[in-house]
Amino acid sequence: MKSILYAIITMLIFSACGHKKADQLQLKIYGTSDVHGALFPYDLVNDKETETSLAQVHEYVSKQREKDDAEVILLDNGDILQGDPLVYYSNFEKTETKHICADIMNFMAYDAATVGNHDIEPGHAVYDKLVKEFEFPWLAANAVRNSDGKPYFQPYTIIEKKGVKIAVLGLITPAIPKWLPEKIWSGMHFEPMVESAQKWMNIIQEKEQPDFVIGLFHSGAGEEHESEMSHENASILVAKNVSGIDMIICGHDHNERISWFENPEKEKVLMINPKSKAKFLAEIVVDLSWNKEKKAYDKTLKPNLVKIADVQKSKEYADHFTPLFKEVEAYVSREVGSFKKSISTKDAMFGDSPFIDLIQNIQMDLADAEISFAAPLSYNATIDSGELQVRDLFKLYRFENLLYTMNLTGKEIKDFLEFSYKDWFQQMKSANDPMLYISTTEKGSRLSTMFFNYDSAEGIDYTVNVSKPYGDRINITGMSSGEKFDENRTYKVALNSYRGNGGGNHLTEGSGLTKKELTSRLINSTTKDLRYYLMKWIEEKGTVDIECNQNWKVVPEKWHTTASKREYELLYGKK
């Protein structure tokens, strides 16, 4: 009875005098980023267990919430709606019920999240629905509605802990128009990050007067010398140029990172990135101590990246969501056809390959195109011969790109290929010179250029001369149909929407087209993602016999053969 009376009296005093801030407060701020569908510690594509997922994140954060030593805040930094059949199923197959990400993130009691570029990719129907289903604010201050100039998503949120006001400002990488067709992000545009951060920090400080500010930026760190207008990653630029932000959780570039920068007021700004796929959990312990003279908190930040593989999965989480997991497991196990031969993306790193030719031929067939461009989207994916299941389509095509058909001249096609092979094969002087761009460290060897930009062409016959410099390597000898190839003629070309919107710069820097010209060259676009049409194509064929058309080759051939054997073993080991 006394405790109830005390609580009532305390509430009345606080109501009369205003809510008193705590003199001392410890926050534990947790952040995930670029989860990419890692909701369970299981890889549904390859049908095997994995080491990390939100099931373990929930276990770790739940244990922290049970303690009385600190106030816990849980944040997500975007790109959760792509990368796994679990989210694909909710995005495009079972759309009439609550999205699995809303179910799980509400269950985990996230306090706020930022929208990522891959959260925009599924389209309006998906992200507009999720805004309503999330029980926390989904942020992106610089995604601006065209009609009234206001943010399309919520720009920031205020979290209050014992009278202390914590502001969370969300920003998304502004490079989305470079990758995604306009109909996916129709009705909005994306402001540069520094400009938007400055505007909203002024509003937050004037209106909210927060005690602590968190930047939740779905954008990579970037480089200090880069102009943000031409780069997707500007988190460092915001840290160094915008005052008032105490810490930034960044992402998008999938790099684990803890670093410090100095803002215009010479104050330290923490930047932390928990990589991707729930491999790490950003953990920042913040000690706040009220300074009467400054009339502000003294702040001490202790950052850490928690290795999630060392955490067991939550039984509560697993029990709650296993029925939904089983439903998606049944979906990906459905047979859609069969392959007579096994195919692998390993071969696609070195030359013409059955894996890429399968995609090329399907694209040309679906688009009724004369020429097709495609690249390997996985570094080390294999689809075995025999029964083909839905899960195998995620190996065949990783991303939810649309299929574009565009008008390109023969000269633009040639220049496109020159650009593609520039960062694929090095210029060689002998067979002993390096061919691919490979970096080797104590952890092993890997490609140092982006293999998903290794576009080759189908429908034309050509050679790539690695002894020659960029601009003089590609020799197109004719159409694969036997017709003459004409650099002045316009051809119908099939390619994915990422490339068709300028992703990778093949069409812009390579072919010399402006963004406006890209739009005018578009003949047609599919309404659903390319993987959906690949699946329907294979279902219609039943059994697919995959052949490599050998329509292009690398010369000198002896150099290529020697270098390919040497570098294949360096990257993958012996065949």
Looking at residue 407, the DSSP 8-state letter turns out to be E
DSSP, residue by residue, 310-347: GSPPPHHHHHHHHHHHHHHHHHHT-EEEEESS-EESTG
The model's pLDDT over 203-255, given as tens digits with 9 standing for 90+, comes to: 999 999 999 999 999 999 987 555 544 478 999 999 999 999 999 999 999 99
Distances 201 to 167, 173, 543 between C-alpha atoms, Å: 10, 17, 58
Which pair of structure tokens corresponds to residue 482? 């036997």
Q: Walk me through the domains of the chain, giving residue ranges and CATH numbers.
A: 24-328 (3.60.21.10), 335-572 (3.90.780.10)
Whole-number pLDDT of residue 4:
43
DSSP, residue by residue, 358-397: HHHHHHHHHHT-SEEEE--S-SS-EE-SEEEEHHHHHHH-
Would you say 87 and 81 are in contact if contact means Cβ atoms under 8 Å apart? yes
Helix (H) or strand (E) holding 281: strand 280-291
Q: Which amino acid is at 341?
A: K
Looking at residue 537, the DSSP 8-state letter turns out to be H
At 299 the three-state DSSP class reads strand
DSSP, residue by residue, 480-497: TTSPPP-TTSEEEEEEEH
247-249 and 403-409 strand pairing: unpaired
The model's pLDDT over 123-150, given as tens digits with 9 standing for 90+, comes to: 999 999 999 999 999 999 999 999 999 9
- Show the low-confidence residues of the chain (pLDDT under 50): 1-18, 228-230
Which pair of structure tokens corresponds to residue 550? 């050998």
At 466 the three-state DSSP class reads coil
Task: Tell the residue number behind the tokens 């928690």, with chain if given.
Answer: 306
Would you say 80 and 114 are in contact if contact means Cβ atoms under 8 Å apart? no
Whole-number pLDDT of residue 574:
87
Helix (H) or strand (E) holding 500: helix 497-500
Would you say 85 and 391 are in contact if contact means Cβ atoms under 8 Å apart? yes
Query: Which residues does residue 156 pair with via DSSP β-bridges, in sequence order?
Result: 169
Query: Which residues does residue 63 pair with via DSSP β-bridges, in sequence order?
Result: none
Distance CA 122, CA 571 (A): 33
Distance CA 285, CA 30 (A): 9
Q: Which residues contact 11 (CB under 8 A, 6 or more apart)?
A: none
Peptide bond just before 556 cis, omega within 30 deg: yes
Whole-number pLDDT of residue 224:
55
Would you say 74 and 27 are in contact if contact means Cβ atoms under 8 Å apart? no
Closest CA to 497 of 525, 521, 517: 525
At 247 the three-state DSSP class reads strand
Q: Which amino acid is at 466?
A: V
Which pair of structure tokens corresponds to residue 511? 């072919």
Q: Which amino acid is at 517?
A: E
156-161 and 164-172 strand pairing: antiparallel
Residue 17 burial (10 A CB sphere; 0-12, 13-18, 19+): exposed
Q: Where are the beta strands (DSSP E) in 518-569?
A: 522-525, 543-544, 552-555
Would you say 375 and 452 are in contact if contact means Cβ atoms under 8 Å apart? yes
Q: Which residues contact 375 (CB under 8 A, 6 or more apart)?
A: 356, 420, 451, 452, 453, 454, 455, 456, 499
Return the CA Rg of the chain.
Answer: 26
